[in-house]
Structure 1
Amino acid sequence: MRNRSLQLGFGGLLCTVWLTTSCSNQTEDQSDFSAEEFTREALVVDSHIDTPYAVWRNNRDVILGNSTLEFDYPRAVEGGLDVAFMVAFVPPSMEEDGTATEFADKMFDYIESLETHAPSKVAIATCTNDVRTIKKQGRVALPIGIENGAPLDGDLENLRYFRDRGASYITIVHGKNNHLSDSSYDDTERWGGLSPFGRVVIEAMNEVGIVIDMSHLSDKAAWEVLEITKVPVAATHSSLRHFVPGFHRNIPDEMVMAVAETGGVVMINFGSGFVSAPARKWSDTRKELINELRGKYPEDEAMVTSMVRAYEDENPYPYASVEIVVDHIDRVVQLTSIDHVGLGSDYEGVGPTMPPDLKDVSKYPIVVQELWDRGYSREDILKVLGENYMRVWAENERYAQSRGNPVSCRLD
């Protein structure tokens, strides 16, 4: 295990002490630190933003700005966001009806249209070199991740096709089991982990330099991935089960450590239900209430809606906070080292559940300030903000190169 750490309290200030090096900012000048300026200068990566699926049908403007969204260009600039992974989400139902591949293409078309409409502001990035170049140009980089492996449709040629279109990572499965794997949300465990083809896909993703996203996998499938992969993996939008016991969509401690053993990274999801047990319980209780009411009033949805709203009025949603989000970062650091954690907000992907102080992409400086207040050094905050993910991505690229599959950069 790499650089295991101990966490010590000094007058209420958290300082993480490594066996090899210290991440404390106690030896640094405290007087001139500005979270806003620091975030502006740093390379800030958010590995999971679901805006494309949220806007493609009604074409809400994410370049000029749209207050109904959690991501848009003006707020990305305000928050210092340099690398906004645009997610090509494919609903699980599309595997069943055979439209997943076609729909993924539409998602790519939409994401590419953002650069077409505003080439001076945003640019598609297909490799780590693209990202560095786009940052220097003063634009926001938009790499693409596919959420749900359904578009592969049982054919490895589709893997190469989407790599050629610019896919940088693939989330193997989503809310239901698919032809690659079991899902953490699906209790039927169709495959008992990965499917036979899923195992082939994991090896093939290594070969072509597509990062494996561990998010949404069942535990059995995740452990299989960790056994198969030859390169670092990422959980692009997952938090820790330690804080939300029983929530299998999050990652248990032993798996966090196993991800780190690959050299990988856990990108913390900001959603309240991912980071806070009270928020998760509230959502579970609401879901149970809806199911119970629909059983009692199968022909009266208006009654169901009215009673659910009454529950919500009497029991306000217990939003999380930046402090709770950073608790998850702290724990990854405690379990592994500063090299294995980052930010994967899931903006636009978890409904209206974001912590109020992290409500949109303008709020990354608030995370930075919280990290600084807990004693993290400038160097370590840079790692959390983006350098950890960039390292994982680059290691995947290098392995693909060594296998005769160099990754094509858009800006070469």
Structure 2
Amino acid sequence: MRLKAVAVSILIALASPAFAADTTARQLAQDAIIVDTHIDAPGGLMSHWADLGKASPKFEFDYPRARDGGLDVAFMSIYTSAKQDADGSARQVAHEMIDAVEALAARHPDKFALLHSPKDVERLRQGGRVLLPLGMENAAPIGDDLSQLQVFFDRGVRYITLAHSAANRLADSSYGVERKWHGLSPFGKQVVAEMNRLGIMVDVSHISDESAHETIALSKAPVIASHSAFRHFTPGFERNISDELAKAVAEKGGVVQIPFGTAFVDPVSAANTQAHFRAINEFNKRNAELKAAGKPLESEEAFEAAWAKAHPAPVTKIDAVLDQIDYAVKLIGIDHVGIGSDFDGVGGELPDGLRTVADFPNLVAGLQARGYKDEDIRKILGENLLRVWAAVEVAAAQ
């Protein structure tokens, strides 16, 4: 199920990959610039602190494993929930997460550096640093104040996912049963325009098809899907991107970043995820009614435990991710595909061989085995995303 997990069990974090990448794959992973557009470590740090500059087995991202896997640019997800949006805490939580990322970089200036522009990648990654740009998952922290975009841009946010698990002030969610805007709200249109002006990448992951269509059409710069698999493999799962929308992203010059979580790449798990978000929305509504009536609230822990027991994650192989990449390349072209793992954001529900950031060489080996040339693998690993990010900056300057 699709959860922003605060921790992953030690056994999962240390699990051996399904197969060991050979020397050639490891060398390419180290030499190429690997960009992962979605890692949820900041959410975990809010409730389960760890020094990610050292080995942190309860997380899927830390410095030693990032370097072992060849990861260079790790977008830290500044995720806030629909619940935090509703109770007014989203902005505070977002700033606290950014503080945590800044503290990590300040604590280990030899291992991490904040990244605000693709122009600085080569300079900052010297010495083996892992670079930490920020992606805001859910625009809730903006509230209804357009000036907050400048505030968060100044703090390093370089893409924003317009909505998450429920409709907000900007757009509808792919998970929502009810559609509030059937596209973008008037404020959402202003936000997209201001993001274009500032040079913040617009992210269409998580939002409804109607909202995504309008976003892509309205944006004056390329857009991204920061972590969206293809609906072709999971029919009826709107959270994954449709062929039509993927083509529109590519035609705009953007990129679709493939996640690793079984919730996206496995049909059974995808159906469970869709059902889970609808169930949790109903759960929150019930608790809101109970609170208004002065009655005891239902336990969220009990709800999640019961759900997990009733919906065990299927065993998934790395081939499921490779199949997604194959399909994407054939559909929209090699220049419009990348990776957005969702490490530390899917409760450890990941394919064999892609359990942590140390496992990128396994992905490289899989692509090599399927006949991809090294120059094309480099594009998928990060060059495509960096090109799009640079194009968004150019559009802002113009």
Measured against the shorter chain, the TM-score band is 0.7 to 0.9
Alpha-carbon distance, 1:282 to partner: 5.4
Cα pair distance change 1:393/1:76, threshold 3 Å:
same
Normalization by structure 1: what TM-score? 0.83
Which of 263, 270, 280 is equivalent to 1:273? 263
Q: Partner of 1:46: helix, strand, or coil?
A: strand
The equivalent residue for 1:319 is 315
1:72 is aligned to 2:62: yes
Aligned residues: 364
Amino acid aligned to 2:118: T
- The two structures, once aligned, show a CA RMSD in angstroms of 2.6
Q: Partner of 2:195: helix, strand, or coil?
A: helix
1:363 is aligned to 2:353: no
Please say if residues 137 and 164 of structure 2, whose CA atoms lie closer than 8 Å, have aligned partners that are also in contact: yes
Alpha-carbon distance, 1:300 to partner: 11
Which of 378, 396, 399 is equivalent to 2:395? 399
Cα pair distance change 1:244/1:232, threshold 3 Å:
same
Structure-2 separation of matches of 1:273 and 1:38: 28
Amino acid aligned to 1:352: G
Q: Spell out, residue by residue over 1:227-271, the C-alpha distance to the aligned partner (whole angstroms, 9 max, x if none).
A: 101111110011000000011100001111110000000000111
What aligned pairs does 1:105-124 form with structure 2 within 5 A after superposition?
Answer: 105-124=95-114
The equivalent residue for 2:246 is 256
Cα pair distance change 1:358/1:155, threshold 3 Å:
same
Structure-1 separation of matches of 2:299 and 2:338: 45
Cα pair distance change 1:192/1:78, threshold 3 Å:
same
The equivalent residue for 1:7 is none
Normalization by structure 2: what TM-score? 0.86
The equivalent residue for 1:212 is 202
Structure 1: stretches of 5+ with no match in the other structure: 1-31, 403-412
The equivalent residue for 2:51 is 61
Q: Partner of 1:45: helix, strand, or coil?
A: strand
Structure 2: stretches of 5+ with no match in the other structure: 1-21, 287-296
The equivalent residue for 2:375 is 379
Please say if residues 262 and 313 of structure 2, whose CA atoms lie closer than 8 Å, have aligned partners that are also in contact: no
Please say if residues 76 and 133 of structure 2, whose CA atoms lie closer than 8 Å, have aligned partners that are also in contact: yes
Cα pair distance change 1:87/1:39, threshold 3 Å:
same
Structure-1 separation of matches of 2:298 and 2:200: 48
Alpha-carbon distance, 1:285 to partner: 7.7
Alpha-carbon distance, 1:306 to partner: 8.9
Alpha-carbon distance, 1:99 to partner: 2.2
Alpha-carbon distance, 1:45 to partner: 0.3
Cα pair distance change 1:305/1:346, threshold 3 Å:
closer
Structure-2 separation of matches of 1:191 and 1:236: 22
Q: Spell out, residue by residue over 1:9-36, the C-alpha distance to the aligned partner (whole angstroms, 9 max, x if none).
A: xxxxxxxxxxxxxxxxxxxxxxx97100
Amino acid aligned to 2:165: G
Amino acid aligned to 2:342: D
- Larger-gyration structure (1/2): 1
What aligned pairs does 1:94-173 form with structure 2 within 5 A after superposition?
Answer: 94-173=84-163
Amino acid aligned to 1:127: S
Please say if residues 250 and 274 of structure 1, whose CA atoms lie closer than 8 Å, have aligned partners that are also in contact: yes
Amino acid aligned to 2:230: L
Amino acid aligned to 1:50: D
Q: Partner of 1:347: helix, strand, or coil?
A: coil
The equivalent residue for 2:328 is 332
Q: Partner of 1:88: helix, strand, or coil?
A: strand
The equivalent residue for 1:389 is 385
Cα pair distance change 1:187/1:102, threshold 3 Å:
same
Cα pair distance change 1:381/1:97, threshold 3 Å:
same
Deviating 4+ runs (over 3 angstroms): 281-291, 298-312
Structure-1 separation of matches of 2:300 and 2:157: 41
Alpha-carbon distance, 1:390 to partner: 0.1
Which of 346, 349, 366 is equivalent to 1:353? 349
Alpha-carbon distance, 1:130 to partner: 2.0
Amino acid aligned to 1:69: F
Percentage of matched positions with identical amino acids? 44
Structure-2 separation of matches of 1:299 and 1:115: 39
Alpha-carbon distance, 1:299 to partner: 9.3
Q: Partner of 2:358: helix, strand, or coil?
A: coil
